[in-house]
Amino acid sequence: MTPLHLALALLVTGIWGTNFVVIKYGLSEFPPLLFATLRFAASAFPWIFFIKRPALPWRVLITFGCLLGAGQFGLLFLAMRNDVPPGLASLLMQTQVFFTIIISAIFLGERVVLTQIVALLLAFVGIGLIGWRTLTSTDTTVTTKGFLLTLGAAFSWALSNQVVKRAGRVDMLGFMVWGSLFASIALLALSLLTENWVTVPTMLWHTHLAAWVAVAWQAIGNTLIGFGIWNWLIGRYPAATVTPMALLVPVFGMSASSVLLHEPLPLWKLITAGLVFAGLTLNFLAVRSKTHRRS
């Protein structure tokens, strides 16, 4: 990546990392699926009346919206409500990097070198340690349910990356706005089916301003700006070049959660984070080596 594009990727990781704290604030007042619905509704409206729909089939936008909305953020918000703390969630979500690389290798024919395989193994050891700790510990801040829901959210993110990759070089702001429309529809349907809508009108009326600010930041900062830039980069570089940058998200996520929410950082969390970051470094070096060989 060029220095400017690298800076943009770092900006996105900073937005996404600190956003886990914002999510926690929003979940303190909204049910998870309703919160996700509001986030994507605010990402779609009123923007769809001013931003042209990308020249893509409807099925592409619908698929992307469902994967991003109901898959990635629906599952993530459900996990973060009571079953996984923000800092650890920010780390687990980055398994999307490795899901994306594997899927790209299988379905898009992107070559994976030995160094990347070692990088994947290091990261999976780190994630495996988190799973082992979750299953064997009496620590109730993270549960097996939260662990699995967050991995499911990461896998949905990886699948949405494939949709973006196949879409190619399109207007990514329009892509996010119109994709958010279908994300909000899917999430609203799930919310109506599973959450207590009898109390929703009263709850919305009495919601504090900070929660609405959380919705606005989710919509504009995280979705339109963050994913707009990210998907723009995904459309221009191999998945193995862009997606590893997301492994920096836990640096921001765990730091912000520790400072603002006083989330503890015991040794086991630092060890697992170190393994994942080691995987990032190896993968980054492997991508650079492949790029130099091609040139």
Q: What is the pLDDT of residues 90-127, one digit of tens each?
A: 888 888 877 888 888 887 777 777 887 888 888 778 87
The pLDDT confidence band at residue 249, using thresholds 50, 70 and 90, is confident
Instruction: Flag whether pLDDT at 290 surpasses 70.
Output: no
What integer pLDDT is reported at residue 161 of this predicted model? 86
Q: How far apart are CA 189 and CA 125, in angstroms?
A: 37
What integer pLDDT is reported at residue 19 of this predicted model? 92
What integer pLDDT is reported at residue 70 of this predicted model? 92
What integer pLDDT is reported at residue 286 of this predicted model? 73
What integer pLDDT is reported at residue 167 of this predicted model? 87
| Tally of CB atoms within 10 A around 171 | 17
For residue 261, which of 138, 43, 137, 84 has the smallest C-alpha distance? 84
Those residues whose C-beta lies under 8 Å from the C-beta of residue 97, and which sit 6 or more positions away, are 123, 243, 244, 246, 247, 280, 283
What integer pLDDT is reported at residue 293 of this predicted model? 62
Instruction: Flag whether pLDDT at 159 surpasses 60.
Output: yes
Choose the weakest-confidence range: 55-59, 79-83, 143-147, 287-291. 287-291
Cβ proximity of 100 and 161 under 8 Å = yes
What integer pLDDT is reported at residue 228 of this predicted model? 86
Percent of the chain exceeding pLDDT 90 equals: 38
189-235 pLDDT, tens digit per residue, is: 999 999 988 888 888 888 889 899 999 998 998 888 888 898 888 88
The pLDDT confidence band at residue 264, using thresholds 50, 70 and 90, is confident
Instruction: Flag whether pLDDT at 139 surpasses 70.
Output: no
Cβ proximity of 39 and 224 under 8 Å = no
Q: How far apart are CA 169 and CA 285, in angstroms?
A: 26
Tokens of 61: 């936008």
Q: How far apart are CA 280 and CA 116, in angstroms?
A: 9
